[in-house]
Structure 1
C-alpha cells in the first residue's frame, strides 16, 4: 500500500462511501473504486462490506486502518524533517488535549511555540475522554496528546512515551445561589446535592471525583453532560448545576459570582504529554521539549 492508496482508503473509511471520499479527495468515483479494488487484490480479501448506500469495514479492513494512518504520519514526519534541514519548520502540528487539563499553561505553551515557529500551524482537537485521546495518539492521528492520568498506579502508558509535566488540583464550582457558608476546603460528605455539569463518561477527572463521592456514600446526579468543557463554567453560572474543574478555571468562575471550594481530601491529577516512541517530526519534538523544559523549571 503506497501513500496515495492509504489516503484514498482512509477517505472511504472516514466518509463511508466512494462518492463522498471522491469529493473529499477531489477524485472521480471510478478512480476511488479502482484504488479500493487494487488494494483488495493486493490483500486478497475484501476491505469493505456494502450496507445500504454506504460502506463499512470488514475485519480485514479494520486491520488496515492503523498501518494506513502510520504511512501518512511517517510521510508527514519525513516532509517536516526535510523542511527543517532546508530552513525553518513548517506544516501542521496535530495535537489532542483534554481541555482544561492545562488551562492557561497549555495556551501559553502553544503561544511560546508559535512565536518560535511561526511557519507551523497548530491544530488542536478535544476528544471526549482520555481513552479516545490515547487511541488517537496510538493510531498516529495526532503527534502529541495532553491529558490527565489517574492519581494512583504507574504513570507509564503501554506503547507510548509519557512525560508528567504538571498537576491539576480539582475544585468544585457551584452556582451563585449556593449557600456561602460551606467550609473551605469542602469535605465530600458536605457537598450539596446539586446536579452535575459533567464531562463524558470515562474522563479521568470525572472518574476520580465519582470514586471519592462513592466513598462518602454519595453519587453523581447528572444535569448536563458535555464534551465541550468550555461550556461547563457558563452552565454553572446559569444555575444548571455544579462542576469539577481546575484551579485556574475555578478562580475565574469565582470572579464571575460562582461559589468555589477546594476539596477535602484534595484531588490532584497528574498532567501528561504523550507520543508514540521513535522519531518525532521536528515541530512535535520542539513542542515536547519546550513543555518538558517548562515543567522542569516550574
Structure 2
C-alpha cells in the first residue's frame, strides 16, 4: 500500500469523482482508476460504489478513509519536520473560520506569519463553528477560529482565546438612546435578525433567552453582519449581533445598545490535541504565544471620541 495510492484514494473520496480527483492530483484518470482497482484487490473488497454521476464510499472505503488521511498527514509531517530543522519551513496551514476575523488579531497574526514563513501556504476555509470543530478533531483542517460553545470545547481540542466579545441589539437610528439597555424580554417581542441555528454564535443567544424563560425566534437568519445592518436600517426588525464588528460603529443608519443581561462569548483558536502539531501549525501557535492576541471590546455605551477643539487664537 503506497502513499501515492492513498493520496489518490483520498482525492476520489473527497471529490466524489475520478475525473476531478485526477485533475486535483495532476494525473490522467486511467492512472487513478488503475491504482484504486489495485487497492481494492489488495484489501479484498470494493472501496467505492460507482454511480452514474458520482462515486460514493462503501462501508470499507469509509473505514479506510481516516487511516489513509492519518498516513498522509504523518508522511507530510515527517517531511516538514526536516524542512523545519533546515530553517526552510514550507507546507500548508489550513485554517477554518466561522467569520468575524476582522474583529480579532488573526489578520495581524497572519500578516506576521506570512513575513516570517513565506514558504508556507495558508488556506482559509469557512463553515459554521460546529462543523469546524468536527473538522479540527478529525484532522481535516489544522485549526479553526470559532465561537467557543457555552459548555466549552469538546474533548480532544485545545484552544487559545483570541477575542472576548458580547452581543448587542442593533436598531434603526433615532429609535432608542444608546445608553438605554434593551432587555431580552423586549427583544423577544420584536422581529429578530441574527445568526442561524447552525452557527456557534446562535447557541449563546438561545441559551441566554432560555435562562430568562424566553423562546428565541430568529425571523431573518444570516451571519452576514452587513446584511443584518441593512435589514435593520430598512425597519424590518432588530439585530442581535457581535459588537466587535467595525461596521456597527461606522453606519449612521443604526444605533447600537447593550443587552440586559449581557450575553458574552469568546472567539478561540482551536486545534486537535493528542498528536504533535505539524511544523506550520507549531509555528503559528508559537507566534500566537509571542504576540499579544486577545482583544477586549470597548463598551457598547462608551462615548464617541470628541472632535479636537481648535487651539486658542492669540
TM-score range (shorter-chain normalised) is: 0.7 to 0.9
**Counterpart residue number, 2:71:** 71
Task: Call closer, same or farther: CA 1:224–1:206 in 2, change over 3 Å.
Answer: closer
Aligned-residue offset at 1:211: 2.5
1:150 matches 2:149: yes
**Counterpart residue number, 1:172:** 169
Indicate if the aligned counterparts of 2:190 and 2:238 stay in contact, CA closer than 8 A: no
1:160 matches 2:157: yes
Indicate if the aligned counterparts of 1:171 and 1:246 stay in contact, CA closer than 8 A: yes
1:273 matches 2:266: no
Structure 1 counterpart of 2:247, from 252, 265, 272: 252
Bigger helix share: 1
Matched residues in 2 for 1:104 and 1:3: separation? 38
Task: Call closer, same or farther: CA 1:297–1:14 in 2, change over 3 Å.
Answer: closer
Matched residues in 2 for 1:178 and 1:210: separation? 28
Aligned-residue offset at 1:213: 2.8
Task: Call closer, same or farther: CA 1:139–1:26 in 2, change over 3 Å.
Answer: same
After TM superposition, the structure 1 = structure 2 runs for residues 1-298 of structure 1, keeping only pairs within 5 Å, are: 1-100=1-100, 103-127=103-127, 129-151=128-150, 153=151, 155-174=152-171, 176-177=172-173, 179-181=175-177, 184-191=180-187, 193-198=190-195, 200-214=196-210, 215-226=212-223, 232-233=228-229, 236-237=232-233, 241-249=237-245, 251-257=246-252, 258-277=254-273, 278-293=275-290, 294-295=292-293
- Bigger CA drift: 65-74 or 214-223? 214-223
Q: Say which SS state the counterpart of residue 248 (structure 1) adopts.
A: coil
Q: Normalising by structure 1, what TM-score?
A: 0.85
Aligned-residue offset at 1:75: 2.7
**Counterpart residue number, 2:302:** none
Q: Say which SS state the counterpart of residue 32 (structure 2) adopts.
A: helix
Q: CA RMSD in A?
A: 2.8
Indicate if the aligned counterparts of 1:197 and 1:240 stay in contact, CA closer than 8 A: no
Aligned-residue offset at 1:12: 1.2
Task: Call closer, same or farther: CA 1:3–1:178 in 2, change over 3 Å.
Answer: farther
Q: Normalising by structure 2, what TM-score?
A: 0.81
Aligned-residue offset at 1:242: 3.9
Higher alpha-carbon Rg: 2
- Bigger CA drift: 93-102 or 27-36? 93-102
Matched residues in 2 for 1:112 and 1:230: separation? 28
Aligned-residue offset at 1:290: 2.4
Runs of at least 5 residues in structure 1 that lack an aligned partner in the other structure = none
Runs of at least 5 residues in structure 2 that lack an aligned partner in the other structure = 297-314
What are the Cα deviations for residues 26-58 of structure 1, in whole angstroms up to 9, with x where unaligned? 222222111111221222221111223321111
The alignment covers a number of residue pairs equal to: 291
What are the Cα deviations for residues 214-258 of structure 1, in whole angstroms up to 9, with x where unaligned? 4353432322435x5665445555656543333221x53232122
Task: Call closer, same or farther: CA 1:101–1:35 in 2, change over 3 Å.
Answer: same
